[in-house]
Structure formats: C-alpha cells, structure tokens
Amino acid sequence: DTSLTEVNPFSPSVPISPSSMINQYKFEDGPELRDLFITVDDPESHITAIETFITYRVVTKTTRGEFDSSEYEVRRRYQDFLWLKSKLEEAHPTLIIPPLPEKFIMKGMVERFSDEFIETRKKALHKFLNRIADHPTLTFNEDFKIFLTAQAWELSSHKKQGPGLLSRMGQTVRAVASSVRGAVKNRPEMFTEMNNYMETFSQKINLLDKIAHRIYKEEREYFNEMKEYGPIHTLWSASEEDIADSLKGIAGCIDRCCRATEKRMAGLSEHLLPILHEYVLYSEILMGVLKRRDQIQGELDSKVDALANKKTEKDLFSEEIGKLEDKVERANNALKADWDRWKQNMQWDMRSTFTNVAENNLLYYEE
C-alpha cells in the first residue's frame, strides 16, 4: 500500500537499517506524555466446585488527580475484561474499541490452561488495557477507572448496577429495527469510502493471517524433521571411523540449523501471528462501528421522511430531528477522529511487524 510511505519521516536518500527505523518511528503520544501505566502479569489458576478459571494481576500507576491513589493492584478474570469491553461499546458506540482475544473454546480444556495459551492471553490482555489507556477518550471512561481500581467484590457490585433486562431488550430491538431498514440514503461520501476501505482491508488481512499460519505450520514440520537428523549422524559416526569427523561436523551443523529455525519460529509466533490476528479482529470491530453509525443516520433519515409526510405534530418532530442531527454529528466527528488515529497506528504496527520479520529472516539465513 503506497499510502504507507506517507507516514515515513525519513529521507529515502539516507540508508537506515530496519531496526533503527523501528526505534526512531514513534507513536504520536510519546511515553513522556503518558500519565497512566498498566501492567497485566502473574496469571493464577482458581479451581472451585463449579469452574476452573485464571485471574491476572492488573497493576496501575498514575499521576492523574481523579484517582485517589497513585498505584493500584487488583486481580481480574477474562469475564471482567469482556464486561469492560461491552461497557465501552455501550458508552461509545462509534469509537473503535480495541479487540480482546476470543474466548478459547477449541481443542478441549487441557489446551486452554496450557502455559503457552495463558502467556499469549496475558500479552493480549495487557495490550488491550494499554490501547484503552492511550486512547484520548476511552482512557477517561468511568467504568475503565472502576475496572482498574475496584476490588473484586466492589466490581461485582458495580456490574449489578447495569441496565435491567427490559432496558437491554429495548436497545436490542431498536438496533435490529435500525439494521433492517436497508441502505442509508444520506450517508456522507467519507463513510462510504471508509466502508469500502474496510471491506478490502478485511479481505487482505484475513488472507495474510492464513498465509502466516501456513508458513508457521510448514516451518514447524521442517523443524521436527530436521531435529531427527542430528542424532542419526552422531550414531552413524560411531560405526564409520574413516568419516566420523565429517559426520559429527554435519550433526553439529544440523543442530545449529535447528536452533536458528526455532528462533525464527519464535519470532513468527510472538510478533507476526498475534499482530495479524489482532487486526483481523479489528476489521470486524470497524465494520460494526460503521454499521452503528449508519443506524444513527438511518434513524435521522426516517424521522425526516416522517416529518415530510405529516402535517400535525411538526414541532415535536422538529425537536426530535434536531436532537438526532446533533447525535449524528457527534457520531461522525468521533468516528472521523478515531479513524485517523487507528489508521496511523495500524500502519505503524504493520510497518514494524513486517520489518521485524524481514530482519529476523536475514539473521536466520546468515546463521
């Protein structure tokens, strides 16, 4: 995508290594501007008569005046993160809420509590909270503050204060009613372009995700086969005195190749696969945000049509339309600002991820 070059602050005439480029390229919000630091670590298993689950320690350090203390430490389980995400979506329907890793339901319970799975999820939860903390609007959400500071029983009590069943059903019915009205008539061109961009982005990022998983699978199969050849040559050298040194040398080379391949696989699993999958989830989130914006626009359009067809109650309709116009304008402005920010971060993530993969490949072939 040639648009990626637009955010490159470096002169093409100056040769720079991939790693130095990554180090120099920074987010718009440098660490010196941040006043909220969050760490997710120390996963802990809990076994009860009803269920088995993992909690993670969430440590928050802040200099913000609205917090009563400068440091908090709480424990949260995956369901708490899901609750936070749903509250953010509810409060900010046209902002881009960062994705959470999906709830693990494949390959049975044993795999779900493996060290590798827990470590992967811990990193994803850490990134989720820090993306919210770096967001100019979401970071000041009251539910986010409660998530970071409340003890388990306080959070449980706060969750119960949410909207009742009838209220939630009403919201669902309205959302469904809005979604089946058909195409939005007066959608601004900018949001049509966003929609088209996301459809293409979704196709490409899903394809990249599949290709990356296939490469990793092939690399693992190659590694498992190669791993068997080193010991075979060592055993062979014991029965062939004349070429024993050569056979041992080959066994040593194979062993070094195995280590290099293992390092390369670790780079793929730690840096490439998680980023690509995160943006697969982001593509679904963006399509949902655009749809919610269209629903607000559709509600306004239907009121305008109703006003044109009614001779009475014009004052009431005009007031409702005024409120809906304000709502549409707020939704549009929120999404436009978030879209630019998301795109910049996405381009930075893609650039640094693929540069990292390229640099790892160079090191691999040198080794």
Q: What is the DSSP string of 117-154?
A: HHHHHHHHHHHHHHHHHHSTTGGG-HHHHHHHH--HHH
Q: How confident is the model at residue 111 (pLDDT cuts 50, 70, 90)?
A: low
Burial 354-365 (b: 16+ CB within 10 A, else e): bbbbebbeeeee
- The tens digit of pLDDT for each residue in 351-362 reads 999 999 999 999
The pair of three-digit structure tokens given for residue 257, joined into one six-digit string: 């190749």
d(CA 219, CA 148): 40
Task: Identify which of 21, 29, 17 has the alpha carbon closest to the alpha carbon of residue 5.
Answer: 21
- The tens digit of pLDDT for each residue in 66-82 reads 899 999 999 999 999 99
> H or E segment at 339?
helix 314-366
Instruction: List Cα–Cα distances, 178 to 167, 219, 296, 297, 336, in angstroms.
Output: 17, 48, 8, 9, 22
User: Is the model's pLDDT at 19 over the cut of 90?
Assistant: no
Assessment of whether the complete model's pTM goes beyond 0.75: yes
Return phi, psi of residue 265, to 5°. Answer: -65, -40
User: Is the model's pLDDT at 27 over the cut of 60?
Assistant: no
Sorted by sequence, the CB contacts under 8 Å of residue 129 that are 6+ apart come out as 38, 40, 58, 148
Q: How confident is the model at residue 4 (pLDDT cuts 50, 70, 90)?
A: very low
Burial 316-351 (b: 16+ CB within 10 A, else e): ebeebeeebeeebeebbebbeebbebbbebbbbebb
* Residue whose token pair is 């914006």: 293
232-260 mean pLDDT? 93
User: Is the model's pLDDT at 115 over the cut of 90?
Assistant: no
Q: For each of the domains in the chain, give its residue range(s) and CATH number, in order of start.
A: 33-155 (3.30.1520.10), 183-366 (1.20.1270.60)
Q: Supply the pLDDT for residue 83.
A: 95
Q: Supply the pLDDT for residue 104.
A: 52
Q: Which residue has the higher pLDDT, 334 or 316?
A: 334
The pair of three-digit structure tokens given for residue 177, joined into one six-digit string: 């009613």
d(CA 93, CA 331): 8
User: Is the model's pLDDT at 43 over the cut of 50?
Assistant: yes
91-118 mean pLDDT? 73
Task: Identify which of 62, 43, 65 has the alpha carbon closest to the alpha carbon of residue 54.
Answer: 43
Task: Identify which of 359, 333, 288, 274 has the alpha carbon closest to the alpha carbon of residue 96.
Answer: 288
User: Is the model's pLDDT at 220 over the cut of 60?
Assistant: yes
Q: How many Cα atoms sit within 13 Å of 4 on the Cβ side?
A: 12
Three-state DSSP state, 28: coil
d(CA 1, CA 205): 13
- The alpha carbon torsion through 33, 7, 94, 150 (nearest 10 deg) reads -30
Q: Supply the pLDDT for residue 108.
A: 39
Of 15-19, 255-259, 356-360, the one with minimum mean pLDDT is 15-19
Determine the straight-line distance between the first and last CA of the chain, rounded to whole angstroms.
31
Task: Identify which of 278, 342, 289 has the alpha carbon closest to the alpha carbon of residue 101.
Answer: 278
Cα dihedral 32, 34, 36, 37 sign: negative
User: Is the model's pLDDT at 28 over the cut of 50?
Assistant: no
d(CA 361, CA 264): 7
Of 141-150, 301-310, 340-349, the one with minimum mean pLDDT is 301-310
Q: Which residue has the higher pLDDT, 48 or 275?
A: 275
Three-state DSSP state, 17: coil
- The tens digit of pLDDT for each residue in 272-302 reads 999 999 999 999 999 999 999 999 888 888 8
Three-state DSSP state, 311: coil
Task: Identify which of 350, 367, 364, 362 has the alpha carbon closest to the alpha carbon of residue 22.
Answer: 350
> In whole numbers, what is the pLDDT of the chain averaged over residues?
82
User: Is the model's pLDDT at 349 over the cut of 90?
Assistant: yes
d(CA 120, CA 104): 11
Q: Supply the pLDDT for residue 167.
A: 44
Q: Which residue has the higher pLDDT, 123 or 27?
A: 123
